[in-house]
Amino acid sequence: MIKINLLPYRELGKQSEIRRQLVAAILIFAVVIGGVGWFWNTQKEEINVLTVKIKRSEQELERLKTIVKKVDEAKKKKQELETKHKIIADLKDNQKGPIVVLDDISTSLTSDLWLTTLKEDGSMVEMNGYALSLEGIYAFLKNLQRSKNFATVELINSKQSNFEGQKVNQFTITLIRAKATKVKAQVSLEERRSR
């Protein structure tokens, strides 16, 4: 009988199988390492590109912040200038206001009528005075109503009284100016006469 020892052949087959599996594992490991390396490199490049974009965006943001700051300063200056312009325009209007009122009242006075006080508060003017007759008050009212500078002319009251021993008609008239102003002034005609 012939005996064949198959043991080394089987062992060689097992070793060959282990080598193949080991080579396959090494190849798989190499592919995985290569894939991870490639992925890492790709991500690193993308991170570098994004970092550059972020730096550019930050620089652009800083540039735009300075522009926005300048625009805000310009808007603030414009607002200040508009406010100053409005104040100057109001002052110019207010400068003319009392002169126009006094001129209209002066030209509307009749010969038998005189004023004692005149108060101006914004667009309202209040006058107090005396007249020798009711016709004088009526004529004064009509003259004031003809003025384009007054929106309304109203007789508030009229009563008879004595002035230095003579019977006269004491009156109060209010006027609303056609263009409202912010001037507040009070003038006493008696004080002006005493000067």
Cβ 138 vs Cβ 158: under 8 Å: no
**What is the phi-psi region of residue 168: left when phi exceeds 0, alpha when psi lies from -120 to 50, beta otherwise?**
beta
Asked, for residue 20, whether it belongs to a domain, the answer is no
Asked, for residue 173, whether it belongs to a domain, the answer is yes
Cβ 149 vs Cβ 93: under 8 Å: no
Cβ 174 vs Cβ 157: under 8 Å: no
Q: What residues are paired with 157 via a beta bridge?
A: 172
What is the number of domains present in the chain?
1
Whole-structure pTM over 0.95, yes or no?
no
Q: Would the pLDDT of 33 be above 60?
A: yes
CA distance 17 to 22: 8
Asked, for residue 121, whether it belongs to a domain, the answer is yes
Instruction: At 172, list the tokens.
Output: 């109060």
Asked, for residue 177, whether it belongs to a domain, the answer is yes
Confidence band of 93 (pLDDT split at 50, 70, 90): low
Q: What residues are paired with 130 via a beta bridge?
A: 114, 170
Long-range Cβ contact pairs of 26-35 (< 8 A, separation 24 or more): none
Confidence band of 5 (pLDDT split at 50, 70, 90): low
Q: pLDDT tens across 108-149, in order? A: 888 889 999 988 887 888 999 999 988 999 999 999 888 888
We report the CATH number of the domain holding residue 141 as 3.30.1360.100
Q: Tokens 């005075």 — which residue?
A: 129
Q: pLDDT tens across 57-86, in order? A: 999 999 999 999 999 999 999 999 999 898
Asked, for residue 186, whether it belongs to a domain, the answer is yes
Instruction: At 41, list the tokens.
Output: 């490199």
Confidence band of 96 (pLDDT split at 50, 70, 90): low
pLDDT of res. 180: 47
pLDDT of res. 105: 85
pLDDT of res. 128: 94
Calculate the average pLDDT of the chain: 83
Containing 107, the helix (H) or strand (E) segment is helix 7-108
Range of the domain at 178: 98-194
Give the residue from 120, 143, 117 showing the smallest Cα distance to 130.
117
